[in-house]
Amino acid sequence: MTDALTGHSVKQASFLDYAPAPESTSILHLKKSYGLFIDGAFVKGHGTPFKTISPATEVTIAEIANANAKDVDAAVAAARKAYDRTWSKLSGADRGKYLFRIARLVQERARELAVAESLDNGKPIKESRDVDVPLVAAWFFYYAGWADKLDYAGLGPNPKALGVAAQVIPWNFPLLMLAWKIAPALAAGNTVVIKPAETTSLSALLFAEILQQADLPAGVVNIVTGAGDTGEALVNHPDVNKVAFTGSTAVGRAIAKSIAGSGKKLTLELGGKAANIVFDDAPLDQAVEGIVNGIFFNQGHVCCAGSRLLVQENVHEEVVDRLKNRLSTLRLGDPLDKNTDIGAINSREQLERIRELSDIGEKEGAQRWTAPCAIPEKGFWFAPTIFDNVSTSSTIAREEIFGPVLSVLTFRTPAEAIAKANNTPYGLSAGIWSDKGSKILAVADQLRAGVIWANTFNRFDPASPFGGYKESGYGREGGRQGLTAYLSGAGWSAK
């Protein structure tokens, strides 16, 4: 071929080695250091600041303030003041206006937010650009519409806000989880103190700038950055009325214990070990895509990931074979390259955990297969991996790995599929693949999972409630049901 740029003849090794197509970071104007966002302004934290790095390169992006108990106090006080003096006095329609404004600003700054998210979290830009940020805007638009219609939330006439909501969110979808928490809280009339995860504070701090741009009254949303102790101080603060947490089951359990009897309303969205059930009458090519999307989307850092593939025995080999072929086409690398399918693992700590559990899986006798892809020298990476012939008693069939690792199990009948799918302490999501609608409905009816996808996986919509059974938590986020977590009706009163 001839290189059209130089006119020289160059040899193209392979078309599939697509030339680099990096998203430019020039749109980002990051500060060297970020303070806490309290009472409408950035202030210094009293803890020791920490650095946030790009997991793809391990290069420091910015320094982030660390909130101690004193800072949390100030943030809760600001939220209380804003609730008493401003936000609770506004009409629903006026609260809605602010939310609409935030949604539009998120859309205007979508590119910038996507780049920041991929830089800080390690997820591919195509996901932050096409999934995370559009959903963030959608969430604010959706709940903006609810703000003046709370009478129809299902809690009877004139439901009341709870007051100050303390919210702690994880690192897998930093900005999206923030939107899931803040949008319904504000629509319902609460004020908020939110703590992003330690490794992914950046997009929340850019969001704080958006709140300033939107002229949201000071103190309505406060953002405190820090590690576990900051979160602990926040959820245990005596002046918060509501606690919402998304993260690990262990931490969720600790929160539930520590606030028990305090009168704080609690929602928990915790771990999962979802079954993705493939019947022999499934649309196979689409099922393979769905399996890939179910477990390798966002490097498997998804609480509702389809990490257990339950495939009917008579199509097991064919499905695994097709899956391996498909995984061989996934592109792992620079999260900012527009052609990257698999980005970086968010932190060294998480990478270690994935490695540890994978090694256990191998020791326990499952067959390990890893997609052939070059791993960059710097940063945290884990190639897409399948474990075949996994038994239900195996550790990797029971524990949440939270990484790009799929455990393959087989079943013979629908009854066995249902039994195996339900045989987990979790119950967040599940997937069913079959061309037969009646079978899908019959199986879905018996699965104990909060979200069930049929012939698709990992699809989210603000109008659809999301949440789990059993150790996957309680309460629902999204939809009308998501509002009830932030409101008290006739039957329940906030302390």
Contacts to another protein by CB under 8 A = 1-5, 7, 10, 12, 14-21, 126, 130, 281-287, 289-290, 329, 338-339, 435, 455-456
Q: What is the DSSP string of 354-387?
A: HHHHHHHHHHTTPEEEE---PPPSSS-----EEE
Residue 362 vs 435, nearer CB to another protein: 435
Q: At residue 317, what are phi and psi to the nearest 5 degrees?
A: -65, -40
CB closer to another protein, 14 vs 438: 14
Known catalytic membership, residue 269: yes
What number of residues does the chain have? 495
Cβ neighbours, 10 Å, residue 321 = 11
Structure tokens at 465: 């409630």
Q: Which helix H or strand E contains 135, and what residues bound it? A: helix 133-146
> Least CB distance from residue 451 to another protein, whole Å?
17
Say which of 117, 303, 471, 477 is annotated catalytic.
303
Angle, helices 92-108 vs 202-213, to 10°: value is: 120
229-232 contacts, C-beta under 8 A, 24 or more apart: 229/68, 230/47, 230/66, 230/67, 230/68, 230/71, 230/72, 230/195, 231/168, 231/195, 232/258
Q: How far apart are CA 284 and CA 457, in angstroms?
A: 14
**Contact (Cβ atoms closer than 8 angstroms) between residue 329 and residue 430:** no
DSSP 231-259: HHHHHT-TT-SEEEEES-HHHHHHHHHHH
219 vs 290 by CB, closer to another protein: 290
Tell me how far, at minimum, the Cβ of 433 lies from another protein, in Å. Answer: 8
Return the closest-CA partner of residue 428 out of 401, 404, 452, 444.
452
Cα–Cα nearest to 64, from 195, 169, 175: 195
- Closest to another protein by CB, 175 vs 287, is 287
Which DSSP letter does residue 216 get? Answer: P
- Separation in Å, CA 201 to CA 80, 168, 208, 317: 23, 12, 11, 43
Q: Annotated catalytic residue: which of 117, 198, 232, 269?
A: 269
Q: Which is nearer to another protein, 16 or 374 (CB)?
A: 16
The tokens for 160 are 């009341």
Q: Is 303 part of the annotated catalytic residue set?
A: yes
Catalytic positions, written as ranges: 269, 303
